[in-house]
Amino acid sequence: MGNEELATAVDVAGLTVRRGPHTVLDGLDLRIPAGRVVGLLGPSGAGKTTLLRAIVGVQQVHGGRVTVLGRPAGAPELRRRVGYVTQAPSIYTDLTVTENLRYFATVLRAPSDDVDRVLDQVDLGRYARTRAGDLSGGERSRVSLAAALLGAPELLVLDEPTVGLDPVLRRDLWDLFGRLRDDGTSLLVSSHVMDEASRCDRLLLMRDGALVADATEAELLARTGADDVEHAFLALVEEGVR
C-alpha cells in the first residue's frame, strides 16, 4: 500500500445513485484524507446522507466506486473499522444505556472494558442505568455515538450528529471529535449548520447532489473573498462553480 493510499480514508470515484427517475448523485468524485475532521456541509436535500450511506456500504449505487480504508465500501472486514451514526438514534429504548452498549459491544466483539470508556467519552456515565426511552433526544444521540465508538473504529461517519443539541453539548461534541482526530481517527461529519465549518480541517460543500467545493476554510474564504463559509457557499452557487 503506497503513501497516497495510506493518507486516504475514503476515495469516491464516479459515484452515481438514482432514486426512481431522480438522480441523487451524478458521477461524484471526492477524497477524504485520513486523520482529519472533514465537514460535509450543505442544505437539506443536497445528497449528504446518500453519500454517507454509500460510504458505509448500505446504499444501493448505480455506478462508480467507493473505497474505504483500502477496501470496497461495505466489505465485511470494515464492520469493526468503521463507526456510523445515523440522524435518528439507533438504540433500543427499552434497554438501559449500559445494556444498549453491552449489546453492541458483543455484536462488534469489542473489548469488555469498552463500555465504560465510551460512556466517559460522551459524558453519559450518570445515565448508565437509565432506560434509553427516558432520555432526551440529545442524550439518545450521544448513546448512538457511544455505540459507534465501541472498538475504536479507524473511521467515524456521522450524519448530522449535533442536530437538536444545545450549544454546550455541540461544543463538547466537537471537542471530542478533535480529540479523536488527534488520536488518529478519521472523521466525516455532515451538517447543514455552516458555522460548524470552523471546527473542521477540510470542507466538502454539496448542493443538488454535486460537489461545490473541496477545500479548507481558509482556501474557501480566500477563493471567494467572503467573510464566512455561508457567504462563500452562496458565492460559489451564484457563480455556478462546480
Alpha carbons 204 and 182: distance in angstroms, whole number: 20
Residue 6, pLDDT above cutoff 60: no
Pairwise CA distance, residues 182 & 190, whole Å: 19
Task: Give a yes or no: residue 181 inside a domain.
Answer: yes
Q: Is residue 2 part of a domain?
A: no
User: Which grid cell is 83?
Assistant: 463507526
Assigned domain for 47 exists: yes
Question: Residue 240's pLDDT band (boundaries 50, 70, 90)?
Answer: low
pLDDT 10s digits, 110-138: 988 899 999 999 989 999 999 999 998 88
User: In this model, does residue 3 exceed pLDDT 80?
Assistant: no
Count how many domains the chain has. 1
Q: In sequence order, what are the residues at sequence separation of 6 or more whose Cβ sits closer than 8 angstroms to the Cβ of residue 151? A: 80, 83, 105, 108, 109, 110, 111, 114
- Give pLDDT, residue 56: 97
Q: Is residue 191 part of a domain?
A: yes
Structure confidence by residue, pLDDT tens digits, 15-38 = 999 999 999 999 999 999 999 999
Cα→Cα distances 213→31, 36, 44, 81, 241, Å: 12, 17, 17, 28, 8
Mean pLDDT, residues 91-101: 95
Q: What's the pLDDT band for 87 if we cut at 50, 70, 90?
A: confident
Residue 68 in domain = no
- Full-model pTM: 0.91
In a domain, 81, yes or no: yes
Unique residue bearing C-alpha cell 443539541: 165
Question: Which pLDDT band holds residue 88 (cuts at 50, 70, 90)?
Answer: confident
Nearest CA among 203, 195, 136, 134 for reference residue 165: 136
CATH number of the structural domain spanning residue 94? 3.40.50.300
Q: Which domain holds residue 111?
A: 36-60+75-241
Residues 6+ apart with CB under 8 A from 48: 40, 42, 159, 190, 192, 206
